[in-house]
């Protein structure tokens, strides 16, 4: 006798409710129409990748920055509505953003 049968014997009047799927949004980051600009610069001789042009909430952009830094295992920061990633990771960043549904435009070198 399994657990379901035991429960049916204990509670004969109980009718199980139909299971409903709970939709959990994976990404609740606001999508935009304009592309995010992904550009490459060298500062003090070191390469950096800069993302700018996001028109959504600042908190969403900070979450995106944290996720990118975690996925790429690199350092970076968020300043003046720009994400600054240490190193030249334009291709990987553009691929990650396109998978999330963002439009991305590559600028520079």
CA–CA separation, 20 vs 30, rounded Å?
A: 26
Higher pLDDT, 108 or 52: 52
- Confidence class of residue 23 from pLDDT cuts 50, 70 and 90? very low
Apex CA 84: angle with CA 81 and CA 88, to 5°?
Answer: 145
Q: How far apart are CA 40 and CA 90, in angstroms?
A: 7
Residue tagged 């963002």 (tokens): 102
Q: Give this prediction's pTM.
A: 0.68
Torsional sign, CA 43, 49, 55, 56: negative
Question: 93: closest CA among 32, 73, 109, 81?
Answer: 73
Q: Does residue 14 surpass a pLDDT of 80?
A: no
**Can you point out the beta strands (E) in the chain?**
36-43, 46-52, 76-79, 82-86, 104-107
Query: Residue 49 and residue 65: Cα distance in Å, rounded?
Result: 12
Residue 1 pLDDT > 90: no
Q: Model confidence over 26-84: pLDDT tens digits?
A: 556 666 778 889 999 999 999 999 999 888 888 888 898 999 999 999 999 998 889 99
Residue 25 pLDDT greater than 60, yes or no: no
């Amino acid at each position: 006798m399994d657990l379901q049968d035991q429960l049916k014997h204990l509670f004969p009047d109980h009718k199980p409710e139909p299971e409903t799927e709970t939709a959990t949004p994976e990404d609740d980051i606001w999508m935009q129409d304009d592309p995010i600009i992904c550009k490459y610069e060298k500062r003090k001789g070191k390469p950096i990748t800069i993302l700018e042009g996001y028109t959504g909430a600042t908190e969403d952009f900070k979450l995106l920055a944290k996720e990118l830094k975690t996925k790429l295992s690199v350092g970076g920061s968020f300043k003046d509505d720009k994400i600054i990633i240490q190193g030249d990771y334009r291709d990987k960043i553009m691929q990650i953003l396109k998978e999330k549904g963002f439009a991305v435009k590559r600028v520079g070198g």
